[in-house]
């Protein structure tokens, strides 16, 4: 006998979708950092308890959320960033789906305190399942937004129990913060464990990429960095970055790639670039790479997955080859032993 088809309850639909956007504490934090950056913050402070499962808190000094928007800010598909589909090809903000905050409220308890420049005071409201749990309240506060996420996955037993190791989750969070701090060197970042006075990560506002690599990954790697910069008119892309020299290597590679300012996984580029290093480094040793790739917006599809972990772009293979040659040239020009050999 055929089953009866019924429409799922909206709360169920939203919770299923939320589980896809927010896979672990570090995803939720990434979305919130991106919102703070979209709001033009210059200082972002993060506090985390139990690997983010108990508490994730982010305080920024950005543009804030308007009082009138407090009612819908956490509903699914509400955004101040995108209005029509065509704009997606020119999108300059991290956000556009209006899904992150909504998703988080479906799997955690969320409190937002925010003040815009022209408002006399801040407002505060608590959210569950996309909606405020009561009226917003006026309160004291500086310009900017503070979002508190408590008891992540409180309503998803299996998911919550899968994160037994809080220090592993904390490390994943630190990894995201480190990478955003390096790419957004003008913005100051602080990451603290709740109740501790010293910060795990602290980068001052207005620092440089190399300052922040030194502050987060250490001075040994910072001393070995070579700047790379490369432009290709044919395939309409620009690359800048800092890559480790041939005299430095790691057991496990560190690979930071931002494509049009989005932190993504890109195995094609990773494999291509690490391949270049195999002829420079000892066997089984790997490089540190920070790369910022800017591809013409018309050639990029950012809407591949709800977590935005991936982007697709045209001419991927040709671009990878062009970058390989640039990396090779950078390493070759700095490799003194080879220069010597060539001269001899």
Read off φ and ψ for residue 270, nearest 5 degrees: -60, -50
Residue range at the interface with Mg ion (CB under 5 A); choices 27-35, 125-133, 256-264, 299-307: 27-35
CA distances for 34 relative to 78, 177, 263, angstroms: 16, 11, 10
Is 127 in contact with 110 (CB distance < 8 Å)?
Answer: yes
CA distances from 147 to 59, 267, 285 (A): 7, 33, 41
- Taking alpha carbons only, the member of 222, 227, 184 closest to residue 206 is 184
The dihedrals phi and psi of 244, each to the nearest 5 degrees, come to -75, 150
Interface with Mg ion in residues 62-101 (CB under 5 A): 95, 100
Contact of residue 52 among ligand ADP, Mg ion, none (CB under 5-8 Å per partner type)? none
x/- track of binding to Mg ion for residues 28-67 (CB under 5 A): -------x--------------------------------
Cβ contacts of residue 248 below 8 Å, gap of 6+? 220, 221, 224, 287, 288
- Nearest CB to Mg ion, comparing residues 28 and 100: 100
Q: Check binding of 36 to ligand ADP (CB under 6 A).
A: yes
Smallest separation, CB 36 to ligand ADP (Å): 4
Q: In this chain, which stretch among 61-69, 150-158, 250-258, 283-291 interacts with ligand ADP, using CB under 6 A?
A: 61-69
Residue range at the interface with ligand ADP (CB under 6 A); choices 47-55, 96-104, 224-232, 239-247 = 96-104
**Least distance between Mg ion and beta carbon 108 (Å):** 16
Angle at 126 between CA 141 and CA 74, to 5 degrees: 100
| DSSP classification of residue 55 | E
Residue 106 touches which of Mg ion, ligand ADP, none (Cβ within 5-8 Å per kind): none
**Binding status of residue 102 toward Mg ion by CB under 5 A:** no
Which phi and psi angles does 245 have, rounded to 5°?
-75, 175
* Residue whose C-alpha is closest to residue 33's, from 100, 88, 99, 78: 100
How many of the chain's residues bind ligand ADP (CB under 6 A)? 22
Number of residue whose CB is nearest ligand ADP: 95
Binding of residue 80 to ligand ADP (CB under 6 A) = yes
Binding residues for ligand ADP, rule: CB under 6 A, are 31, 35-36, 39, 60, 62-65, 73, 79-81, 95-102, 145
């Amino acid at each position: 006998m055929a089953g009866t088809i019924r429409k799922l309850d909206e709360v169920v639909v939203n919770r299923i979708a939320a589980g896809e956007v927010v896979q672990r504490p570090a995803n939720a934090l990434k979305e919130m950092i991106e919102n703070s950056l979209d709001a033009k913050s210059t200082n972002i402070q993060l506090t985390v308890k139990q690997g983010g499962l108990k508490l994730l808190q982010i305080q920024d000094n950005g543009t804030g959320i308007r009082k009138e928007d407090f009612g819908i800010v956490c509903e699914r598909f509400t955004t101040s960033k995108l209005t029509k589909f065509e704009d997606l090809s020119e999108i300059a903000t991290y956000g556009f789906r209006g899904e992150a905050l909504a998703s988080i409220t479906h799997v955690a308890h969320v409190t937002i305190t925010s003040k815009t420049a022209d408002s006399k005071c801040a407002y505060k409201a608590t959210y569950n399942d996309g909606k405020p749990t009561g009226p917003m309240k006026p309160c004291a506060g500086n310009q900017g937004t503070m979002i508190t996420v408590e008891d992540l996955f409180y309503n998803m037993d299996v998911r919550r129990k899968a994160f037994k190791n809080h220090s592993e989750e904390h490390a994943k969070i630190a990894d995201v913060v480190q990478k955003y701090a390096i790419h957004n060197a003008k913005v100051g970042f602080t990451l603290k464990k709740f109740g501790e006075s010293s910060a795990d990560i602290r980068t001052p506002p207005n620092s440089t990429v190399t300052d922040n690599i030194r502050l987060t990954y250490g001075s040994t790697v910072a001393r070995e960095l070579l700047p790379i910069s490369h432009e290709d008119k044919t395939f309409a892309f620009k690359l800048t970055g800092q890559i480790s020299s041939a005299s430095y290597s790691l057991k496990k590679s560190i690979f930071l790639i931002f494509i049009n300012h989005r932190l993504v996984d890109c195995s094609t580029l990773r494999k291509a670039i690490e391949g270049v290093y195999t002829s420079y480094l000892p066997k089984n040793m790997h490089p540190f790479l920070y790369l910022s790739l800017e591809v013409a917006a018309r050639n990029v599809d950012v809407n591949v997955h709800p977590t935005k972990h991936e982007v697709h772009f045209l001419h991927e293979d040709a671009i990878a080859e062009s970058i390989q040659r640039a990396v090779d040239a950078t390493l070759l020009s700095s490799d003194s032993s080879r220069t010597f050999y060539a001269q001899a």
